[in-house]
Amino acid sequence: MEKNKQTVELKDFKQIFDQYYAPIRNFVYYKIKDMDAAEDIAQEVFVKAWEKRDELRMETVKSYLYTIANNLSINHAKHGNVVMNFINKFTHRSNAESPEYIMELKEFDQRLQNAISGLPEKSRTVFLMNRIDKQTYSEIAVSLDISVKAVEKRMSKALAMLKEKLNVKI
């Protein structure tokens, strides 16, 4: 006798997409640092999930989506981040008060981006999910399928490294 597990119905797929698209996209972005590619990969995640919809279970759909996203991110990362580096160099233009202020802001922004990029992937992902997506440690733990203690350790490591690299209070 088959276990009584709820499969994903066609009507539920739109709700799953609406609920998880942005978090999946952001998760991918934190890993590969390219928003356009992150959006493409997030869409591909849902295409793959759609293709396997008959095998999906509501109680495991979130971890399944994150697993696909992680695997696709790893594949993308192997191809490099040349486009993102180019975009970062030319999109941080500002119309602030003085040239000195603009220069200081650009220098700090570059230092911050370099410091965040220099974090180990696991710490960087947790840091960005918390600080950009405003996810709680519990939410991050569920998304990454790790313990809350592991999230706390990764965040602590990220903050310590950023504080050291930037010589500022975070």
Q: For residue range 67-116, list pLDDT tens digits in order.
A: 999 888 877 765 454 444 444 554 544 444 677 877 877 888 788 888 88
The answer to whether residue 36 sits within a structural domain is yes
pTM of the model: 0.50
The answer to whether residue 86 sits within a structural domain is no
> What is d(CA 138, CA 124) in angstroms, rounded to the nearest whole number?
17
> What is d(CA 32, CA 39) in angstroms, rounded to the nearest whole number?
11
Q: Residue 23: which domain range?
A: 10-77
CB count in 10 Å sphere of residue 72:
22
Same domain, 58 and 112: no
Closest CA to 144 of 45, 48, 69, 42: 69
Residue 126 near residue 98 (C-beta atoms within 8 A) = no
The answer to whether residue 117 sits within a structural domain is yes
**Of 45, 77, 109, which residue constitutes the final position of a domain?**
77
pLDDT band at 43 (very low <50, low <70, confident <90, very high): very high
Same domain, 68 and 120: no
Taking all residues of the chain, what is their mean pLDDT, rounded to a whole number? 80
**Of 32, 54, 77, which residue constitutes the final position of a domain?**
77
Same domain, 121 and 70: no
Same domain, 72 and 127: no
Same domain, 106 and 148: yes
CATH of the domain at 63: 1.10.1740
Q: How many domains does the chain have?
A: 2
CATH of the domain at 130: 1.10.10.10
